[in-house]
Structure 1
């Protein structure tokens, strides 16, 4: 179910006055120098860090929901994913479709793997799958994705495969997505708009026609 993700006067750290609306299914890439506040902004939107202003998903504000419910709909995939159980499958309430596993380079056997054996790139792909599985558990509710360099540890071929898989999911589900990225070629491939943090503000760099 698609709904807009709207930021109103959001501020965290040195970054102030962020006003930005992502329409359903839109991908906005965010870049900026190291330490400029990209990850903190995503964490603020997910209500994981104290902030000014407000984030809205459709007609629902983050302040109006219990934190765990908001974070289950505005889903943050951090650069370093968190794992709390021994095996991969223990982190997934609903088993993923075999087609999704295959698109990300896995078979169903990965669910029995110990997390300790995963490479950083495998963790990134499985964290993405976990996030989308959670959003898909409530198909009648709107959702959004916050992605912090989700392909940073992947080779070029795997990066392209993940991009294609994500693009199809976003098209089908209509989730607005804020995607932190530094690779300008990737930004050109996946983004409808590109914003950059400069100093204490967000500046729009480029966009392509939205349909």
Structure 2
């Protein structure tokens, strides 16, 4: 039996004296789209951020493909974040062009490789020379996704990535997520995606499986 993608072992994270995650024990399998859902403030984004050490548990441990994220034998955080990329709720673009933003993730990218990344997220080659801060919200989020993919990750963490977008832009990103988890033989990347969403209808549309969190505890 293969190792789970992420294994949470009695993980607690306390902030300002309050448990944000409370004794979470959970296995997340490799492949497909796993949705993490629950009410606002339930701890779902914190759980996601623990997967690439943007948050560090107060106690317990997390393993990525069998390797602990902290302690003896753990992965270097920068190495981990190239394997486990993340796109945030609000798109954060850097100063400069779209090409500059992609090269921030991989300085060796040439124009052909950068164009291929843009094409993968549904942006034309002409966007390479566009100033990133002139893009719409949906275009900016797609650029952030392309930048995350530039490191050739195995896992994509998506934290409420459509919450600030309109219906059309949301549909584009949901379709992209499905395409990314498809096997390479079918034109995908065969990624594993962890997708945080507060929207039950979206979870129903995109998820292969879902995890429900309430008050820092996995309830289903």
Which consecutive residues of structure 1, in runs of 5 or more, have no partner in the other structure?
137-142, 205-211
CA-CA distance at 1:120 after TM superposition: 2.4
1:27-82 Cα shifts (integer Å, max 9, x gaps): 22112222222222222221112313333221322221111111111112111233
Which consecutive residues of structure 2, in runs of 5 or more, have no partner in the other structure?
184-188
How many pairs does the alignment contain?
196
1:8-36 Cα shifts (integer Å, max 9, x gaps): 22222321222222222132211222222
TM-score (norm 1): 0.81
Map 1:113-128 → 2, pairs under 5 A: 113-128=130-145
Matched, 1:25 2:67: no
Larger CA Rg, structure 1 vs 2: 2
TM-score (norm 2): 0.78
The equivalent residue for 1:57 is 64
Distance in 1 (CA, whole Å) between partners of 2:65 and 2:84 is: 11
Matched, 1:175 2:181: no
SS of match in other structure, 2:182: helix
The equivalent residue for 2:186 is none
Distance in 1 (CA, whole Å) between partners of 2:156 and 2:124 is: 24
Aligned partners of 1:27 and 1:192 also within 8 Å: yes
The equivalent residue for 1:140 is none
Distance in 2 (CA, whole Å) between partners of 1:21 and 1:161 is: 29
Could you list the runs of 4 or more consecutive aligned residues of structure 1 that deviate by over 6 angstroms after TM superposition?
none
Map 1:1-211 → 2, pairs under 5 A: 4-13=5-14, 14=19, 15-51=21-57, 52-63=59-70, 64-92=74-102, 93=106, 94=109, 95-98=113-116, 101-102=118-119, 104-135=121-152, 143-172=154-183, 173-204=189-220
